[in-house]
Structure 1
Amino acid sequence: MRRSFAFKCTLLILLWLLVAIGCVQIPAHTFWPASFGALTLPVALALNLLAVVYWFLRDWRVAALPLLAALLTWPHFQRGVALHPLHTAQAPTGKADKQVRLLSANVRIFNVYPQLRDPDLASSKKMIQWLADNSADVLCLQEFYNEPRGSREDGQVFRAVDKIGEESGRGAFLSKTLTNGIGAEFGLAIFSRFPIVKRGTISFGKLTQNHAMFADVRLPAGDTIRVYNFHLQSMSMEEKAIVDSYSSREGLKREGRGLLRRYKRGLIARSVQIDTLIRRFERCRYPILLCADLNDLPYSYTYDQLADRFQNAWTTVGTGVGATYNGRLPFVRIDHQFAGPRWLVEDFQVHYEIPYSDHFPTSGTYRLK
């Protein structure tokens, strides 16, 4: 009786696993509730592993079924929890002139707004200086902010393009979404120690400031590569509202409907945005590196479209969850680097020692095969 019940539960877990994987592949602009099924995938994966252990102790012949499912779905497991405990940064192999050190960071407009500032603009100065001093060859920055020289008296602190760019030996490409009344610039930025031979932007429509940019960079070996930097639609959901909605029934009633509405809007926007980008990626003839604030979890349509075509750097060489969100919500990884099939991922790390934004910077080392 007990064995029969356990076997039925195992079959239900396997069915759950298949349905959740199917939900991950459904774009939100087609059927947005599927995203809730996708979010249950890590639970289904974990239960399937428990079923493997249970049946190995009870009946190894039945264990073959969940074990086969675990092997087939292992790449999905790795999306959430990477396991490479013995990985160390590889010693240089081949030509150094085919290697690229890439850094990506959502810098939260360098904390320029009054509610983000600290005394004497300490975090703003430290963040900009850390980026300027960083040894990375290419920097991709989201939520970038820059004040050109002479825009205002204390604008010297926020001359980010000059400090991270020319003064640090890098070429700069700033893709602006907004210029305010004092001439300050908001948007995305790419900085490169290698020559930028072509550049461009990809719009997601007039009603959003989220967009993508790219730079074609020439390596010392003569190869031209393309680096994309993009920031997808935010949920526009305040962290406090999310925490309050889980803390009490009254909080759920007060915040729940608004959170669901914004969640749906963000899902649909990101699914359209990633489809737009995928079409561009597929037409590119150069080796591709991607940096992004996806504003989405590894178990989502957005991530799935990228993971099906590119190597996720953390999944390839990292160990653990690799959370990149610096806030009260734990285990959230929404900042990513991806590499095309012509790259070898040598190293990747999340810089938890740099806490100046609500996102931790990430850096990766790649080599053309």
Structure 2
Amino acid sequence: MGRLAVYKFAYFLSILITIFILGLSIFAYFSGKINPVENMFAAYVALSKPILVVVNTILFIYWLIRLRYWLWIPLTGLIVNYEYITSMYQIYNPTKYANENRLKVVTYNVHSFGNEITGFSAKEFAEMMNKEETDVLCFQEYRGYGDFTEQDLQNTYAKIFPYSFIPEGLSQAIYSRYPIRQSQTIEFPNTNNGAIWADLDVKGMTIRIINVHMQTTSFDRMRSKAAQARGEQDEEQERGIYLGYSDNFRENTVRRAGQAEQISSLINATEYPLIVCGDFNDPPGTFTYETLKNGLKDGFQTAGEGYGATYRGFHHLLRIDYLFHSTLLEGIKYKVIPYDMSDHNPVYLEVGL
């Protein structure tokens, strides 16, 4: 095969790859709308969006350098997934000003406050929230540890937040500076995860806060077990752990989908302004994210800047903690607070009422 033939073959192959990636990118755009119960492949494609964005960017640069009109194909792939890109990275959000009626909300998966037995971490974070003048604080994986019990936790945060909703057995809490008119627990079937909500009386205005903790991915637990098996040089056990996780991943993805639909029904039935927050255990663009966001605004997109990662593991690449708000509220300020007490970072959103 001559040099010209090789060149033509490589050129033709690069075109096919570019078109194939565009096809996947278009499917990825719709994948977040497809319930994994009906199509698990769509769930995998939704998770591949960051890879597709990177590949489309590389292909765009490749065709741009070669000065070929094929560059419009990867550019189309990027445009199609622009919503996903902005859910992970915001170049700039202009400063917004609202009237004095504002609400500052923080969500945080505290991971039992780092299993710190003296309560130092919990007290330190409480002081941090007081300095931030936080109005509403939503916790997931809220538990006492060692000598510092849940009652000690409640006593610590009650000094700042006089109102709270802390149901037994769910490891979630809502603390508030404003009175709670009513509250309720939402149990997810066949799991320890769940959701709680509270209607707050904010200067005569009712605001509903929904605090959710979706089904875990168990990814870190799997990696820990696999690493232990690898350390023991047990290749068969390590392989079995990875194979078992594949089934576990599918099961948990389907569970989160059902949980998201359950919360979505509550969102649709709510007639006044609301904020949905918590640990979704799914990145942007997935069925969980799209189902919960439907009709709401992502606080990071309305008021955030930079890269939106919230999870401290996985090389700080994942965004799985969220603050959504209804269109009746204006996103003013959003930030991820670097804090190493947990495997998650706290997420802060200020909205104008």
TM over 0.5, yes or no? yes
Corresponding position: 1:225 with 2:218: no
Cα-to-partner distance string for 1:43-97 (whole Å, 9 max, x where unaligned) = 1222222333333333464333433342232112223x3122x43654x43x212
Q: Is the 8 A contact 1:145 1:158 kept in 2?
A: no
Q: Which residue of 2 aligns with 1:279?
A: 265
Name which of 347, 350, 363 aligns with 2:333. Answer: 347
Any idea what SS the aligned residue of 2:191 has? coil
- AA in 1 matched with 2:270: C
Cα-to-partner distance string for 1:268-288 (whole Å, 9 max, x where unaligned) = 111100011111111111112
Give the distance between the partners of 1:340 and 1:75, measured in 2 at CA: 18
Give the distance between the partners of 2:64 and 2:229, measured in 1 at CA: 41
Give the distance between the partners of 1:199 and 1:335, measured in 2 at CA: 22
- AA in 2 matched with 1:164: Y
Deviation of the 1:328 alpha carbon: 5.3
CA RMSD of the aligned region, Å?
2.9
Aligned CA distance change for structure 1 residues 338 and 282 (closer, same or farther; 3 Å): same
Aligned CA distance change for structure 1 residues 201 and 78 (closer, same or farther; 3 Å): same
Aligned CA distance change for structure 1 residues 317 and 263 (closer, same or farther; 3 Å): same
Name which of 109, 128, 143 aligns with 1:106. Answer: 109
Cα-to-partner distance string for 1:135-177 (whole Å, 9 max, x where unaligned) = 1111111112369xxxx9x457852223212x2243111122x
Q: Is the 8 A contact 1:325 1:359 kept in 2?
A: yes
Q: Is the 8 A contact 2:196 2:210 kept in 1?
A: yes
Spell out the pairing of 1:170-319 with structure 2 (5 A cutoff): 170-176=162-168, 178=169, 187-205=171-189, 207-220=190-203, 222-237=204-219, 238=221, 239-241=223-225, 250=235, 252-319=238-305
- AA in 2 matched with 1:208: T
Q: Which residue of 1 aligns with 2:4?
A: none
Give the distance between the partners of 1:130 and 1:140, measured in 2 at CA: 14
Q: Is the 8 A contact 2:108 2:344 kept in 1?
A: yes
Q: Which residue of 2 aligns with 1:39?
A: 47
Corresponding position: 1:87 with 2:70: no
Corresponding position: 1:162 with 2:169: no
> Where in structure 2 are there 5+ consecutive unaligned residues?
1-7
Q: Is the 8 A contact 2:299 2:334 kept in 1?
A: yes
Deviation of the 1:366 alpha carbon: 0.8
Give the distance between the partners of 2:28 and 2:238, measured in 1 at CA: 25
TM-score (norm 2): 0.85
Deviation of the 1:311 alpha carbon: 1.7
Q: Is the 8 A contact 1:25 1:301 kept in 2?
A: yes
Give the distance between the partners of 1:360 and 1:58, measured in 2 at CA: 43
Q: Is the 8 A contact 1:235 1:265 kept in 2?
A: no
Deviation of the 1:294 alpha carbon: 0.7
Aligned CA distance change for structure 1 residues 33 and 13 (closer, same or farther; 3 Å): closer
Give the distance between the partners of 1:12 and 1:261, measured in 2 at CA: 28
> Where in structure 1 are there 5+ consecutive unaligned residues?
179-185
Give the distance between the partners of 1:56 and 1:33, measured in 2 at CA: 32
Aligned CA distance change for structure 1 residues 71 and 164 (closer, same or farther; 3 Å): same
TM-score (norm 1): 0.82
Spell out the pairing of 1:54-133 with structure 2 (5 A cutoff): 54-59=62-67, 61-79=69-87, 81-84=88-91, 86-87=92-93, 89-90=95-96, 92-93=97-98, 95-97=99-101, 99-111=102-114, 116-117=115-116, 120-131=118-129
Q: Is the 8 A contact 1:204 1:273 kept in 2?
A: yes
Q: Which residue of 1 aligns with 2:38?
A: 30
Deviation of the 1:4 alpha carbon: 3.5
Q: Is the 8 A contact 2:26 2:77 kept in 1?
A: no
Q: Is the 8 A contact 1:142 1:189 kept in 2?
A: yes
Give the distance between the partners of 2:275 and 2:337, measured in 1 at CA: 19
Any idea what SS the aligned residue of 2:93 has? coil
Any idea what SS the aligned residue of 1:168 has? coil
Give the distance between the partners of 1:52 and 1:156, measured in 2 at CA: 56
- AA in 2 matched with 1:75: E
- AA in 2 matched with 1:233: Q
Q: Is the 8 A contact 2:25 2:80 kept in 1?
A: no
Any idea what SS the aligned residue of 1:29 has? coil
Q: Which residue of 1 aligns with 2:309?
A: 323
Any idea what SS the aligned residue of 2:313 has? coil
Cα-to-partner distance string for 1:185-228 (whole Å, 9 max, x where unaligned) = x52111111222221222222x32211111112222x3222111
Give the distance between the partners of 1:63 and 1:275, measured in 2 at CA: 39
Give the distance between the partners of 2:229 and 2:299, measured in 1 at CA: 33
